């Protein structure tokens, strides 16, 4: 199920980041009492009354000239309206209605999107005195809140999610949904075009040509695939255009809706810090992951080239050491079939379920070889385990005391499970519960 997108927009220093952090329950956005601190859009999953959505914290609408609704601000508002299902138009109750508020409001009213006017900092006396001035912005029933204190947030979210669907589980889809992610110009579009045999995605030498996530259907050996070509994610300092910033949201949404993610790396450039950030989002969302090293045909190679390249990937991306690496060429078609075979295998692993008896045999052997740790004379005991779900495989272990099981021992148990069943390309989730705990 595609999550609705909610964007918080407003002029600088009205409390957008504080509101974002309050709704998500995380300190993700940097908050500082200085205009312009939030320079890039920050995004996070959020939920209210069992209705999930993607929340976006935008940079402040900052006019260089209060008398002119500048092109840059218009582009930003256009993109917010285009991408979002709901806009929270946040204003500063203490400051009152500003000229920029009026310009933004005039533009927002022309859209067909749901706009909710929220008056922030309403815990102050000045905000209460300015309350009626905000009706001139032309929005019905402004909602009064305090991002700092958390008051009024529930009323705001009630209005935000009023028309959102209740989460009922993922939509059923027979196809294997695969997102190709990576920096601009590494060959994501070219790879998909080579696979499906048509120029579905535009391919040029200009980085960032793909602005939207584009779906392509493909069938091979009776298996149906949906390939998603995403916009390349740039380094933050290179994200100057509003359209590039919203491409990030499109990419992240595509990842969330996929089962398998293929990180495409340019063989000539190797692994970068940005690659780690991009694939880190897929890893955090527990997606199956494959690393595809593109343009492999362009390298001058010797007997150790592939080995050294893999060693570098494992060193720089240690958190996805379960991911297979395929060396391909979108230009020549080298190992494209191998990539498709790997996608099928990884997807099967992502959906694989182990019988409870077999799982407990593996766990018992693991405990005999390496006893759980102890603390102050009390040793951890592992009673039994069961697999509670797939996509990714999730194992629940019953123990005597969760606090006795260190992260390193959980990793040991994961490695033991992988030793028997592989689960190549798929993350594994292991959760603990004390015996008798539901």
Place of tokens 């001058």: 300
**pLDDT band for position 24 (cuts 50, 70, 90):** confident
CATH of the domain at 139: 3.40.50.300
Percent of the chain topping pLDDT 70 = 80
> Which one is predicted more confidently, 124 or 42?
124
Q: Among residues 350, 385, 413, which one ends one of the domains?
A: 350
**288 and 386 assigned to the same domain:** no
Q: What total number of domains does the chain contain?
A: 3
**262 and 378 assigned to the same domain:** no
The whole-number average pLDDT for the span 42-66 is 72
The whole-number average pLDDT for the span 425-435 is 95
Residue 109, number of CB atoms within 10 A of its CB: 11
Q: What's the rounded Cα separation, in Å, for the pair 309 and 305?
A: 6
Q: What's the rounded Cα separation, in Å, for the pair 255 and 253?
A: 5
Please indicate, yes or no, if residue 167 is contained in any of the structural domains: no
> Do residues 54 and 249 lie in contact, with contact meaning Cβ atoms separated by under 8 Å?
yes
> Do residues 239 and 266 lie in contact, with contact meaning Cβ atoms separated by under 8 Å?
no
**53 and 185 assigned to the same domain:** no
**pLDDT band for position 198 (cuts 50, 70, 90):** low
Q: Is 116 helix (H, G, I), strand (E, B) or coil?
A: strand
**196 and 330 assigned to the same domain:** yes
**232 and 253 assigned to the same domain:** yes
| Nearest by Cα to 255 from 231, 219, 236, 221 | 231
**Preceding omega of 186 cis (within 30 degrees of 0):** no
Percent of the chain topping pLDDT 90 = 51
* Average pLDDT taken over every residue of the chain: 83
pLDDT of 217 reads 82
User: What residues have CB less than 8 Å from 150, skipping those under 6 apart?
Assistant: 22
Q: Is 278 helix (H, G, I), strand (E, B) or coil?
A: helix
Place of tokens 């150790």: 304
pTM beyond cutoff 0.75 = no
**280 and 155 assigned to the same domain:** no
User: What residues have CB less than 8 Å from 166, skipping those under 6 apart?
Assistant: 50, 51
Please indicate, yes or no, if residue 400 is contained in any of the structural domains: yes
Residue 12, number of CB atoms within 10 A of its CB: 17
Residue 151, number of CB atoms within 10 A of its CB: 13
Least confident of 184-193, 343-352, 389-398: 184-193
pLDDT of 415 reads 95
| Nearest by Cα to 400 from 376, 424, 368, 434 | 434
Note the pLDDT tens digit of each residue in 246-289. Answer: 556 767 778 888 999 999 999 999 998 888 988 998 998 899 99
**197 and 258 assigned to the same domain:** yes
Please indicate, yes or no, if residue 165 is contained in any of the structural domains: no
Q: Among residues 350, 376, 391, which one ends one of the domains?
A: 350
Note the pLDDT tens digit of each residue in 387-405. Answer: 999 999 999 999 999 999 9
Note the pLDDT tens digit of each residue in 66-81. Answer: 444 445 555 656 666 7
Note the pLDDT tens digit of each residue in 205-250. Answer: 444 444 445 577 888 888 889 898 876 555 544 444 444 455 567 6
User: What residues have CB less than 8 Å from 287, skipping those under 6 apart?
Assistant: 255, 258, 259, 260, 261, 392, 427
Residue 302, number of CB atoms within 10 A of its CB: 8
Please indicate, yes or no, if residue 169 is contained in any of the structural domains: no
Note the pLDDT tens digit of each residue in 132-186. Answer: 999 999 998 899 999 999 999 999 999 999 988 776 555 445 789 999 999 888 9
Least confident of 16-25, 150-159, 300-309: 16-25
What crossing angle do the helices spanning 16-24 and 153-160 adopt, rounded to 10°? 80
The whole-number average pLDDT for the span 299-314 is 93
**What is the helix (H) or strand (E) element at residue 151, kind and residue range?**
none
Containing structural domain, residue 229 = 176-350
Least confident of 34-38, 126-130, 215-219, 293-297: 34-38
Q: What's the rounded Cα separation, in Å, for the pair 186 and 57?
A: 28
**339 and 364 assigned to the same domain:** no
> Which one is predicted more confidently, 348 or 240?
348
The two tokens of residue 105 are 């409001």
Please indicate, yes or no, if residue 360 is contained in any of the structural domains: yes
């Amino acid at each position: 199920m595609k999550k609705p997108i909610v964007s918080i927009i407003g002029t600088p220093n009205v409390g957008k980041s504080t509101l974002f952090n309050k709704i998500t329950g995380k300190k993700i956005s940097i908050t500082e009492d200085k205009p312009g601190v939030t320079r890039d859009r920050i995004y996070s999953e959020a939920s209210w009354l069992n209705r999930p959505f993607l929340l976006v914290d935008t940079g402040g609408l900052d006019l260089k000239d209060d008398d002119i609704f500048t092109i840059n601000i218009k582009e930003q508002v256009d993109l917010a309206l285009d991408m979002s299902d709901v806009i929270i138009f946040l204003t500063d109750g203490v400051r009152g209605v500003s000229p920029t508020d009026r310009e933004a409001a005039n533009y927002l009213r022309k859209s067909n999107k749901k706009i909710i006017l929220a008056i922030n900092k309403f815990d102050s006396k000045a905000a209460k005195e300015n309350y009626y001035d905000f009706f001139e912005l032309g929005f019905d029933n402004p909602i009064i809140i305090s991002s700092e204190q958390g008051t009024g947030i529930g009323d705001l979210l009630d209005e935000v999610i009023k028309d959102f669907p209740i989460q009922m589980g993922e939509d059923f889809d027979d196809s294997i949904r695969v997102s190709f992610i990576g920096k601009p110009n590494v060959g994501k579009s070219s790879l998909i075009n080579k696979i499906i045999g048509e120029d579905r995605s535009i391919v040029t030498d200009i980085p960032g040509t793909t602005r939207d996530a584009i779906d392509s259907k493909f069938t091979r050996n009776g298996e149906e695939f949906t390939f998603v070509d995403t916009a390349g994610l740039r380094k933050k300092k290179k994200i100057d255009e509003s359209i590039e910033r919203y491409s990030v949201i499109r990419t992240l949404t595509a990842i969330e809706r996929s089962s398998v993610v293929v990180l495409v790396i340019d063989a000539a450039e190797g692994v970068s810090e940005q690659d780690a950030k991009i694939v880190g989002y897929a890893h955090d969302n527990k997606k199956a992951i494959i690393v595809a090293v593109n343009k492999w045909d362009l390298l001058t190679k010797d007997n150790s080239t592939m080995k050294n390249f893999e060693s570098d990937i494992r060193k720089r991306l240690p958190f996805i050491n379960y991911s297979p690496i395929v060396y391909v060429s979108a230009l020549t078609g080298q190992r494209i079939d191998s990539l498709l075979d790997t996608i099928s295998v990884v997807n099967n692993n992502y959906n694989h379920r182990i019988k409870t008896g077999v799982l407990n045999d593996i766990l018992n052997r693991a405990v005999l070889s390496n006893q759980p740790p102890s603390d102050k004379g009390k040793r951890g005991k592992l009673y039994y385990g069961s697999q509670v779900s797939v996509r990714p495989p999730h194992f629940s272990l019953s123990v005597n005391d969760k606090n006795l099981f260190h992260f390193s021992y959980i990793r040991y148990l994961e490695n033991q499970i992988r030793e028997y069943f592989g689960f190549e390309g798929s993350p594994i989730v292991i959760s603990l519960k004390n015996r008798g705990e539901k």
